[in-house]
Amino acid sequence: MASQDWFDKDFYSILGVSKDVSDADLKKTYRKLARKYHPDSNQGDAKAEAKFKEVSEAYSVLSDAEQRKEYDQIRAMGSGARFTAGGQGGAGGFEDVFSMFNQGRGGGRYQSAEDFDDIFSMFNQQGGGFGTGRFGQSTGGYRGYGGPTRGADVTARTTIDFVTATKGETITLQGEDGRPFKVKIPAGVSDGQKIRLRGRGRPSPDGGDNGDIVVQVAVRPHPVFTRDGLNLRVTIPVTFTEAALGATIEVPTLGGEPVKLRVAPGTPSGRVLRVKGRGVQTAKGTGDLLAEVQVAVPSHLDDAAREALERYHALEPKENPRADLMAKARG
């Protein structure tokens, strides 16, 4: 970061905080802004990326007590001390700043190496200042901004069964270096969900934070149950007489004993019966079991059953169940 920026940029305004902001509030504000403008969350958005750079640059200075003190001192000098090329002899605006360190030292300006040490240390402590460390050592940063570079994330993939996804479990995966690492699968993880292991990715090239391991989870389908948020869904076949006359039936649960459900007389296909608390159990709540009734039509009838149905057909109400549908279709 060029020292000129310390005059030109108001880091407090960039972060939207006051000059007496506490360290805790500064960190809280930065995290909120970093999440909002991070390039991973704004793919291809140049404005968001530029804002992320500004926010990171501001925080890298203000979060360091020494750099923040220096920044406040430099800003207090005003616009008179400019780090720009200019003036005869190439000194230009540097003279205003260097003059502070030469007053009272026997008159001559730039007369000793100590003068340069004072100036350079002012801007280069903790990797701040001109954008390089003392005498050209790189300070890193997100594409040159905002402190040391964060290590790269590592992506891993795993496929788990349906029960593991609903109950949760700690599994072991193999890292890119061949060494195993453990991943805690939380109860209720969804197909396609990503689990982030903070600081377990690749190291920073210049002393920053490690990257993360991002584990993408695939869930095998279950032959009976499906997920609906925290609810479990299951389709329950019933006979025509059970649906028409009513019945008490058994319904399976995931990993437990069946439960009994009452099917009311006249229940149509598609009606959903709810069993409270028999869905997915997580720290955020527990879902229900949703049993959708489906009337099963027999594919084979013996002579007696056929005769009975024909007698019923002669007695059933002469209503067309599709009449309302046809009327709506005609508009």
Query: Tens of pLDDT along 119-141?
Result: 334 444 443 433 333 333 334 44
Residue 155 has pLDDT above 60, yes or no: yes
pLDDT higher for 324 or 110? 324
Say which amino acid occupies 195.
Answer: I
Q: For residues 254 and 165, give the distance between their C-alpha atoms in angstroms, rounded to a whole number.
A: 12
Residue 174 has pLDDT above 50, yes or no: yes
Cβ proximity of 259 and 250 under 8 Å? yes
Cβ proximity of 227 and 221 under 8 Å? no
The set of long-range contacts for 80-87, using a CB threshold of 8 Å and a minimum separation of 24, is 81/7, 82/4, 82/7, 83/2, 83/3, 83/4, 83/7, 84/4
Beta-bridge partner residues of 87: none
User: What are the start and end residues of each CATH 2.60.260.20 domain in the chain?
Assistant: 154-219, 226-299
Sign (positive/negative) of CA torsion 136, 139, 142, 147? negative
User: What are the start and end residues of each CATH 1.10.287.110 domain in the chain?
Assistant: 4-136
Structure pTM? 0.53
CATH class of the domain defined by 4-136: mainly alpha
- At residue 4, the pLDDT reads 56
> Topology of 226-299 in CATH?
HSP40/DNAj peptide-binding domain (2.60.260)
- At residue 146, the pLDDT reads 55
Cβ proximity of 1 and 130 under 8 Å? yes
Q: What are phi and psi of 146, to 5 degrees?
A: 75, 40
pLDDT higher for 7 or 248? 248
- At residue 213, the pLDDT reads 94
CATH architecture of 154-219: Sandwich (2.60)
pLDDT higher for 287 or 79? 287
Q: For residues 148 and 131, give the distance between their C-alpha atoms in angstroms, rounded to a whole number.
A: 11
Non-local (6+) Cβ contacts of 281 within 8 A are 166, 187, 188, 287
Q: Tell me the mean pLDDT in the region 12-16.
A: 91
Residue 158 has pLDDT above 50, yes or no: yes
Order of strands, sheet of 213-219, starting from the edge strand that comes earlier in the sequence? 154-160, 213-219, 194-197
Q: Tell me the mean pLDDT in the region 208-215.
A: 92
